Amino acid sequence: MGSLDSPRERERENGNGNGGCRSPGDPKLGDGGMIVVESEAMKKRRASMLPLEVGTRVMCRWRDSKYHPVKVIERRKMPSAGPNDYEYYVHYTEFNRRLDEWVKLEQLDLDSVETVVDEKVEDKVTSLKMTRHQKRKIDETHVEGHEELDAASLREHEEFTKVKNIATIELGRYEIETWYFSPFPPEYNDCVKLYFCEFCLNFMKRKEQLQRHMRKCDLKHPPGDEIYRCGTLSMFEVDGKKNKVYGQNLCYLAKLFLDHKTLYYDVDLFLFYVLCECDDRGCHMVGYFSKEKHSEESYNLACILTLPPYQRKGYGKFLIAFSYELSKKEGKVGTPERPLSDLGLLSYRGYWTRVLLDILKKHKGNISIKELSDMTAIKAEDILATLQSLELIQYRKGQHVICADPKVLDRHLKAAGRGGLEVDVSKLIWTPYKEQG
Ligand SMILES: [Zn+2]
Starting at the edge strand found earlier in the chain, the sheet holding 108-109 runs: 101-103, 86-92, 67-77, 57-61, 108-109
Mark whether 156 is an active-site residue. Answer: no
- Statement: 345-416 belongs to CATH 1.10.10.10: yes
User: Which of 198, 337, 371, 435 is labelled catalytic?
Assistant: 337
Cα 278 to ligand 1 centre (Å): 16
Cα 96 to ligand 1 centre (Å): 33
**Residue 104: strand, helix, or coil:** coil
Cα 215 to ligand 1 centre (Å): 9
Give the whole-angstrom CA distance, residue 206 versus residue 360: 55
- Over 60: is that where the pLDDT of 130 sits? no
Structure confidence at residue 251 (pLDDT): 94
- Over 90: is that where the pLDDT of 13 sits? no
Structure confidence at residue 437 (pLDDT): 45
Phi/psi at 300 (5° precision):
-110, 5
Cα 247 to ligand 1 centre (Å): 13
**Residue 92: strand, helix, or coil:** strand
Give the whole-angstrom CA distance, residue 292 versus residue 240: 10
Give the whole-angstrom CA distance, residue 114 versus residue 103: 18
User: Which amino acid is residue 241, in one-letter code?
Assistant: K
Q: Which residues surround ligand 1, an ion (CB under 5 A)?
A: 197, 199-200, 217
Q: How far is CA 239 from CA 229, 292, 318, 339, 351, in A?
A: 19, 10, 21, 24, 27
> Residue 6's pLDDT band (boundaries 50, 70, 90)?
very low
- Over 80: is that where the pLDDT of 31 sits? no
Please tell me which residue, 43 or 258, carries the higher pLDDT value.
Answer: 258
Architecture of domain 57-112: Roll (2.30)
* Cis peptide bond N-terminal to 69, omega within 30: no
User: Among 27-36, 216-225, 340-349, which is the least confidently predicted range?
Assistant: 27-36
Q: List all residues 6 or more positions away from 174 whose beta carbon is below 8 Å from its beta carbon.
A: 307, 309
- The predicted-structure confidence for 191-234, as pLDDT tens digits, reads as follows 899 999 999 999 999 999 999 999 999 999 999 999 999 999 99
The answer to whether residues 168 and 177 touch, using CB atoms and an 8 Å cutoff, is: yes
- Over 60: is that where the pLDDT of 131 sits? no
Is the four-CA dihedral 75, 76, 78, 82 of positive or negative sign? positive
The answer to whether residues 206 and 186 touch, using CB atoms and an 8 Å cutoff, is: no
Selection from 392, 315, 336 nearest residue 359 by Cα? 392
User: Among 8-12, 182-186, 354-358, 376-380, which is the least confidently predicted range?
Assistant: 8-12
Structure confidence at residue 428 (pLDDT): 97
Compute the half-sphere exposure of residue 100: CA atoms within 13 Å on the CB side of its CA: 26
In 264-411 the beta strands, taken as DSSP E runs, fall at 270-279, 282-292, 299-301, 304-306, 335-336, 393-396, 399-402
* Model-wide pTM > 0.75: no
- The predicted-structure confidence for 46-85, as pLDDT tens digits, reads as follows 778 888 988 899 999 998 889 999 999 888 877 666 777 8
**Beta strand 203-204 pairing with 193-196:** antiparallel
User: 10 Å Cβ neighbour count for 276?
Assistant: 23
- The predicted-structure confidence for 248-284, as pLDDT tens digits, reads as follows 999 999 999 987 666 666 899 999 999 999 999 999 9
User: 10 Å Cβ neighbour count for 350?
Assistant: 19
Cα 212 to ligand 1 centre (Å): 10
Selection from 378, 139, 103 nearest residue 262 by Cα? 139
- Over 50: is that where the pLDDT of 169 sits? yes
Cα 279 to ligand 1 centre (Å): 17
Structure confidence at residue 73 (pLDDT): 85
Cα 301 to ligand 1 centre (Å): 26
Mean pLDDT of the chain: 81
User: Among 84-88, 237-241, 290-294, which is the least confidently predicted range?
Assistant: 84-88
**Beta strand 225-230 pairing with 101-103:** unpaired
**Residue 335: strand, helix, or coil:** strand
Q: Where are the domains of the chain?
A: 7-49, 57-112, 345-416
In three state form, how does the secondary structure of 197-260 look? CCCCCCEECCHHHHHHHHHHCCCCCCCCEEEEEECCEEEEEEECCCCHHHHHHHHHHHHCCCCC
Cα 201 to ligand 1 centre (Å): 6
282-301 core/surface letters (b: 16 or more CB in 10 A; e: else): ebbbbbbbbbbeebeeebbb
Please tell me which residue, 170 or 434, carries the higher pLDDT value.
Answer: 170
- Over 50: is that where the pLDDT of 368 sits? yes
Selection from 77, 81, 73 nearest residue 53 by Cα? 73
> Residue 44's pLDDT band (boundaries 50, 70, 90)?
confident
Give the whole-angstrom CA distance, residue 351 versus residue 149: 29
Phi/psi at 304 (5° precision):
-140, 135
Give the relative orientation of helices 342-362 and 369-376 as an angle to the nearest 10 degrees: 110
